[in-house]
Amino acid sequence: MSERLGITYELSCGRGESPERKARGIALEQTVELPAATLPPGIESAMVGRIETLEPAGGNRFRARISYAPETVGGELTQLLNVLFGNISLKRGIRITGIAWPAALLRRLGGPAYGTAGIRRLTGVRERALLGTALKPIGLDAAALARRCEAFATGGIDLIKDDHGLADQPSAPFADRLQRCQEAVTRANARVGGNALYLPNVTAPFAEFPRRLEAARAAGCRAVLVSPWLAGLDSLRWARDQFGLALMAHPALTGSAFGRRHGIAPELVLGDLFRAAGADASIYPNADGRFGLSRRRCEAINGHLRGPLGELHPAFPVPAGGMDVARAPGWVRRYGIDTILLIGGSLYARGDLVRGARELLDAVREQHA
């Protein structure tokens, strides 16, 4: 691994704050964590981040590109997160806007095992956008959730995921929900000749996580839902390598990193990082819904999930969060068919879930970008 990791930062400088010192501070903070004067011989050139460029970006903002020796990261996702935004998360006015990935690091992280082609194989859907929905609400028992699952699968939804807030609560304990929902989907698939997938939420405490993955595989699931920011980003990569299940990633808690002046750009977290860690599909809050990302930002996320990233498979963008049935065709035209539309509330609002799902399927079937 000789290629360096390149990180682009947008720096917002306070009054009297020098952009040169701010950039140099990052280069030291994210590596040696010592003032340069106290470094032993050879460490500065070998380990300290190297400021490659620094240029004005309007007003009090500056764009810095700093490169890091591959040695700094090694090959571990925990330490990669640390180099990206560990200590500097505790500072102000630093926003990561780009990552230039060393090919060797991407190879080591591995990316999606299935990717868009693999998910299409699993669902048997070739030439249209895929449809997803969320099983909810929390509070229903497993039998009631399974009935909803069966209705969605009957109506033609391709991927039916647990709401990410369904964990192992008493109203619908994980094991019971898993069994009933997977059986319901299997039954519906047999009846209508479908390939719908049920994705249980396996996000869980450390020791439980492997058990839920194993249970999901044993129950016949072919994909699962994980919230990497809750369980730890590397849990995604590990699940990919150990269980052979397709992985849909949920953005819970990531939004705290999406500040306008401080944080990490959403397309890098929900795009690059989740994809590199193994997500075959990555959920994000779509524009015009109940969250605040702009259309341009959503298109950037799509691009980072589907565009070139070393030799990694492309992953599915999953726009969600207040999407509705009526506007679904428009989103397919805008985002293209390599998209999973995740529609929840608007389907539930129709009351008849089978019919709602069918209408949605009919609406997007003929849509192309």
HEC string for 193-251: CCCCEEECECCCCCCHHHHHHHHHHHCCCCEEEECHHHHCHHHHHHHHHHHCCEEEECC
Would you say 240 and 209 are in contact if contact means Cβ atoms under 8 Å apart? no
In what helix (H) or strand (E) does residue 135 lie, and over which residues does it extend?
Answer: strand 130-135
Smallest separation (angstroms) from its own copies to the CB of 212: 11
Question: From the CB of 201, what's the least distance to its own copies, in Å?
Answer: 10
Name which of 16 and 206 has its Cβ closer to its own copies: 206
Which one-letter DSSP state was computed for residue 256? G
Tokens of 338: 């390599």
Shortest distance (Å) from residue 204 CB to its own copies: 6
* Cβ-based nearer residue to its own copies, 125 or 312: 312
* Nearest distance from C-beta of residue 293 to its own copies, angstroms: 8
User: Closest separation between CB of residue 82 and its own copies, Å?
Assistant: 5
Cβ 290 to its own copies shortest distance, Å: 7
CA dihedral 297, 298, 303, 304 (to 10 degrees): 80
Asked if residue 197 lies in contact with residue 222, where contact means CB atoms within 8 angstroms, the answer is: yes
Closer residue to its own copies in complex, CB, 264/340: 264
What gap in Å lies between CA 348 and CA 213, rounded to an integer? Answer: 28
- Nearest approach in angstroms of CB 211 to its own copies is 13
Q: Is 81 helix (H, G, I), strand (E, B) or coil?
A: helix
Give 82 or 367: the residue with its C-beta nearer to its own copies: 82
Q: How far is the CB of 44 from its own copies (least distance, A)?
A: 9
Q: In the complex with its own copies, which residue's Cβ is closer, 144 or 361? A: 144
Is the CB of residue 328 less than 8 Å from the CB of residue 95?
no
Distance of closest approach, residue 315 Cβ to its own copies, in angstroms:
19
Q: Which is nearer to its own copies, 105 or 119 (CB)?
A: 105
Residue 306, CA distances (Å) to 61, 86, 299, 309 in order: 30, 27, 10, 8
Q: How much of the chain is helix, strand and coil, in % rounded to 5?
A: 45, 20, 35
**Residue closer to its own copies, measured from CB, 34 or 117:** 34
Write the CB contacts of 49 (distance below 8 Å, at least 6 apart in sequence). 26, 27, 28, 30, 31, 66, 67, 68, 72
Q: For its own copies, which is the closer residue by CB, 213 or 337?
A: 213
Maximum C-alpha span of the chain: 73
User: Do residues 211 and 224 lie in contact, with contact meaning Cβ atoms separated by under 8 Å?
Assistant: no
Q: Whose Cβ is closer to its own copies: residue 106's or residue 122's? A: 106
3-state secondary structure 318-360: EEECCCCCCCHHHHHHHHCCCCEEECCHHHHHCCCHHHHHHHH
